[in-house]
Structure 1
Amino acid sequence: MKNWVYIFLVTILVSCNKGENPTEEYTPIPKTLNIPNLFQQKLIDPVIPSDNPLTEEGVELGKKLFFDTILSKNNTQSCATCHNPQKAFTNNLQFSIGVDGIPGTRNSMPLFNLAWNFSDRFAWDGKEFGIENQAFEPVTNPIEMHSEWVDVTNKLQNHSEYPDLFKKAFGTYQIDSLLVVKAIAQFERTLISGNSKFDKYLLDETSLTDQELNGFNIFMDENKGDCFHCHGSNNNPLWTDNLFHNNGLDENFSDLGLGAVTGDPNDNGKFRSPSIRNLAFTAPYMHDGRFETLDEVINHYSEGLKNSPTIDPLMKKVAEGGVQLTTQEKADLKAFLLSLSDFEFINNPDFNQQ
C-alpha cells in the first residue's frame, strides 16, 4: 500500500512539470491602443489581425525582444540598433550596418502608425505583406542580423526568462519564430505618433506661427508645393498615402524598388511614400538616404526632379525641374514640416528601453 501511494505521488509531481500544470494556465490581458483624438476623428479603426490580437503580455514580450541583441548571430545587434526610438525608430545613417560590418543598400525606415498602413505592404519596396512577415526577414538577412531562426529560438528557449514570458503571452513554453514575430508585431502596432505641434493646432490646443501656416498653405497648393497628393493633409493624420511612387530621383535605376518585387517594368523606380511626421529626427532622407538635410529634400522637389519612363504623373512640373519655390517659400515649407515633429513620441517610456 505504501509503495502504491509513493508511486501515485511521484506521478502527480511528474504531471505538474512546466507546461502541464493546469494551475499555471494564464489568460493574457487584452491591450487597448492609445489612439489620438485626431486619429479617431479622421481614420477608420487600426488593422489588428484576428490571429494576433494585442495583449499586455504580448506587447511587453515584443518590446523586450525588440531591444534584445539575442536575435542576431553574434548577440551584438537588436531591432533597436537600426530603429532607435529616440530617432523615431530609425538610426540617422544612410545605410544601416549589419553584424558583420557590411552596409545595406536602403535607409532604415522609421516605425510609427504602422497599424494604419491599409495597403499592408511594408518596407521601401513593398516586398513584405503584414508587420509579422516584415519582422521575419532581418533576422536571417546576411547583411543585417545574419542569424538562423533555429539558433535564435534555441537561445530563447534556453533563456532564464523567455519561456515563461511566451507562456504568459501565447500559452506555450515552446518558442518558435512565428511567435517571436507576432510578439514584435504587437509591440510595433503600439508605436503611435499623433501629438505634434500641428496636431495640437488642429485640436485648437495651440497656434502656429505665420511662417508655419504659410508653409502649410504652400504644401497644400497645387501651384506651389503640391505635396499633399502623396503625403496627405490635415484630413489624413498619417501624412502619407502608404503607396508607391517614382518621385523623380533618377533617370536610370540601380535599385528598381517595387519593380523588383512585382516584376512589372511600370513599377521600376517606385518606392513607398514615407510619412512626413517626425522629419526633425529621421535624417537622412529617401530610400537610399541620399539627402542629408530637409533643405536638400525641398530643393529636390523645387528644382531637382529627373524624368524617366515611370515618373509619377503627380510630378507635374518635371519638365521645369520641379515646383520652383522661392527661398522664402522653401523656408516656410520647412517650418511647417518641422511642426509635425512629435517630441512626446520619441520620449515615450512605453517605447523606450527601461
Structure 2
Amino acid sequence: MRYGVLICLLLSIVFTSCKKDDEYIATPMPLSIPQLFAEKLSPPIIPGDNPQTREGIALGRKLFYDPILSGDGTQACASCHNPQNAFSDERRFSIGIDGLEGNRNSMPLFNMAWNFSEDFFWDGRAKGLENQALEPVTNPIEMHNTWEQATVSLQATSDYPLLFSNAFGTENISKELVVKAISQFTRTLISSNSKFDKHLAGEAELTTSEANGLAVFLDESRGDCFHCHGDPNTPIWTDNTFHNNGLDETITDRGLGAFTGDPRDFGLFKSPSLRNLAFTAPYMHDGRFQTLDEVINHYSEGLVYSETIDPLMKTISEGGVHLSENDKADLKAFLLSLSDPSFINNPDFQDPN
C-alpha cells in the first residue's frame, strides 16, 4: 500500500510540473537603471504582465532586426529605426515595403520606459509601448503585413517556437507575445552617458560655450526651452506631452487632434527628447529641418501663428526669441553635449544575426 501511495504522489508531482506551462518563469533581468535616473526620476514603467527577462529581451532583439515580420520579408523594425541614428531614420520619411512614403519622421527609440504619459507616436495614438509595437506590422505604408501571416511565418521557422517557449513558456506564437518580446528589448535601449551626464556626475567639465548654452536653454527671456524639454532635474529631456510649436499657419497634419478629434489638439505633436541630437537629423515631426541650426533659427525668428499655438510660444508676436548669433552657437553646443556616442555603439543593441 505504501508503494502505491508513493507512486501516486510521484505521478502527481510529474503531472503537475508538466501541465503548468502558464506558470513558466524565464530568467529575470531587470533594467539596469542609471544612477542619475534613479536619483531624479520615478521608477521605469514595466507592465506587470511583461516583466523583463533574459530570454524575452534576446527574443525581442532578434525580432527587431528580422524582416520576417514584413509582408514580403524585406523590412524589419530596424529598417526605420537604425541604431547608428539613435534608432531613428536619417531619411525625412521612411519608405515601406511597397515603396510608399510616410508623412512623419521616424521617432528615435531610447529611454522609453520613462515615458510616464504612456502616449506613443508623434500623435499619441498608442497607449503603452506594447500597443505601439503592434501597428507598424499592419500599417499599409510600412511593413504591410497581417498579424495572422506574421505569426504563421514565425511558427513555421525552426528556431522561433523554441525561443518563444524559452521566453514565455509556450511554442504557440501570438502577436501579443511578439510585441511583448520587442517591448522588452526596446525598454533596454537606455541612453545616459552623454558629456552632460558625465558633467552632472562630476566626470567632465562643460566648455564656456556649453555652459552659456545651458543658461540660454533655461533663461525664459532667451531660449526658454525647458518648459517643453525639461532640465537637468528631468534627464529624459522631454515633457512627453504635446505642443503646437509654431511651425505652420495652416494646419494640414492634425497630429494629436487626428487621434482625439478635438479641434483644440489640431497641430499638436509630442515633444521629442533632446538626447542624441547629433545622430537623429532630420528634425521635427515631418523632418523639415535638416540641421540643428535650422531648428534654433525657427525658435529664434521663425515662429508662425495658428489657432492652436501653444501659450509657451509667447514670443509669437515677434516671431521668436531673437537670439544673438553667439547665443545660438552656444545653445547648439549645449544641445550637442546631450548626445551619447556609447549608446549608438552599444553591442547589446546591435543586430544579433
Q: Is the 8 A contact 2:85 2:279 kept in 1?
A: yes
Amino acid paired to 2:48: S
> Is the deviation greater in 163-172 or in 27-36?
27-36
Q: Deviations over 1:219-258 (max 9, x none)?
A: 0000000000000001000000000000000111110000
- Superposed, which structure 2 residues align to 1:59-98 within 5 Å? 59-98=57-96
CA distance in 2, matches of 1:52, 1:79: 20
Which residue in 1 is equivalent to 2:288?
290
SS at match of 1:322: coil
- What is the Cα deviation at residue 22 of structure 1? 8.5
What residue is the counterpart of 1:193 in the other structure?
191
- Per the TM alignment, residue 86 of structure 1 is displaced from its structure 2 partner at its CA by 1.1
1:326 matched to 2:297: no
Q: 1:26 to 1:119 in 2, by over 3 A?
A: closer
Match of 2:51 in 1: 53
Structure 2: gaps of 5 or more residues: 1-14
Partner of 1:158: 156
Quick check: 2:70–2:137 contact (8 Å CA) kept in 1? yes
1:309 partnered with 2:287: no
Deviation of 1:36 (Å): 1.0
Partner of 2:202: 204
* 2:144 paired residue number: 146
Does the residue aligned with 1:144 lie in a helix, a strand or coil? coil
- Letter of the aligned partner of 1:142 in structure 2? P
- 2: CA distance, partners of 1:217 / 1:308: 29
2:276 maps to amino acid: N
Q: Do residues 28 (structure 1) and 26 (structure 2) align?
A: yes
Percent of matched pairs sharing the same residue? 65
What is the alpha-carbon distance in structure 2 between the residues aligned to residue 327 and residue 253 of structure 1? Answer: 30
Select the residue among 271, 275, 278 that pairs with 2:276: 278
**Which of 184, 190, 194 is equivalent to 2:182?**
184
Per-residue CA deviations over 1:104-138 (Å, capped at 9, x if unaligned) read: 01000000000010100000000000010011110
Conserved? CA contact 2:24–2:168, under 8 Å: no
Aligned match for 2:252, one of 227, 235, 254 = 254
Deviation at 1:286, TM superposition (A): 0.3
Separation in 1, partners of 2:173, 2:66: 16
Give 1:137's aligned residue: 135
Gaps of 5+ in 1: 1-15
Question: Secondary structure of the equivalent of 1:350?
Answer: helix
SS in 1 for 2:39: helix
Confirm or deny that 1:229 pairs with 2:247.
no
Deviation at 1:21, TM superposition (A): 8.5
The letter for the 2-side match of 1:138 is: P
Q: Say whether residues 1:346 and 2:344 are aligned partners.
A: yes
CA–CA distance in structure 2, aligned partners of residues 117 and 171 of structure 1: 29
- CA shift, 1:27, in A, is 3.3
Matches within 5 A, 1:35-46: 35-46=33-44
